[in-house]
Homo-oligomer: A and B are copies of this chain.
């Protein structure tokens, strides 16, 4: 992954867990860096998430701190004190306001983040040499099975800008309590309100369209930082030259990162894309897609390489969205198996069976009602999921 001018990652070991590896990531951001973010809808969110929401309003960022091994969620006042100790120490180090320091934590819930370990970890990381994005990606992970990063670039009015994204987790992938934390760094100059608009738009068709197990984490956070070092004229709206190209690059990197999370979903053996069309509107299509993607019966059928389209019908019907059984069509891969509410008589099962034996599964659902469409992504539900989440204590 390329370096991003104005964004310098470093890692150190705070020792939150008995891991023997680095668990604290610190990214220093040059003055002038703008920030945008989206966070979990979970009401029981962590202090870190509350801090991010607050600081995003300021639009300016000087540092990102990510703690791995302790989510610090549901830890009340003591958890908040640890977060404040971190922002205070970083602000003093960089000579910036606490409002420009962003903190995330991921790991077990209900254990206050130890303030002394965080402070000692920060002392170490301030002195560390800059590291690669790959190192940073490995450090923010918990039980992720591979490091997940993505890159993109765009031309803004003749100036090339780069984007780097790193992410960990998948819904609730860690043994105790994990989170999806994603960070995107770009050297583009983008005003904070427009960056927020672009990130929210990109989020709605990427991170908000993936699910592993329907369980919404208390700590999900995606932050985008724009250092402005590429030298383009700052983007303030879609009317600016290059704004469309940058928006496309941001959507691209968000989708890459979101797909990586699903590919590393707990116990996942197959990557499932669900394309819904003909819905009353786009958001309705997304909700129908998520109802299918969250159905344990659909996910186990795919794990079993079973073209059980009846379960897809069931999931469409329970989604609570406008649908008409007798207009519904369903396909696996490129083969339509049901059309207008009836099984397709004598459809060729050979390509369907071959498609389901693969690792990239496509399910198409046409509701036949309107022009709303959406794609969502998930993984299959396997014995691996049960082993990770139930058996790890035995």
A interface residues (Cβ-Cβ under 8 A, vs B): 41-45, 73-76, 108-111, 172, 176-177, 213-218, 294-297, 300-301, 303-306, 308-311, 313-318, 323-326, 328, 338, 341-343, 380-383, 385-387, 389-394
Contact = CB atoms under 8 A, between A and B. Distances in A.
Copies of this protein in the assembly total 2
A318 B139 CA distance: 28
Given A213-B296, A385-B300, A74 B392 contact: no
Given A296-B296, A341-B74, A390 B304 contact: yes
B310 A393 contact: no
A325 B45 contact: yes
A172 B297 contact: yes
A309 B305 CA distance: 34
A151 B37 CA distance: 57
B75 A44 contact: no
A330 to B, nearest CB: 10
Nearest to A394: B304
A386 B390 contact: no
Contacts of A387: 383
Given A76-B326, A306-B393, A386-B382, A314 B110 contact: no
B172 A317 contact: no
A238 B80 CA distance: 54
A315 B216 CA distance: 8
Given A382-B390, A386-B381, A323 B74 contact: no
A70 B108 CA distance: 46
Contacts of A73: 310, 313
B215 A74 contact: no
A392 B300 CA distance: 10
A314 B172 contact: yes
A329 B313 CA distance: 39
A180 to B, nearest CB: 13
A3 to B, nearest CB: 36
Contacts of A301: 389-390
A259 B177 CA distance: 30
A167 to B, nearest CB: 19
A392 B304 contact: yes
Nearest to A337: B110
A342 B74 contact: yes
Contacts of A390: 300-301, 303-304, 306, 380-382
B386 A314 contact: no
A181 to B, nearest CB: 15
B310 A177 contact: yes
A311 B301 CA distance: 26
User: Which residue, of A301, A314, A389, A392, has the highest number of chain B Cβ atoms within 10 A?
Assistant: A314
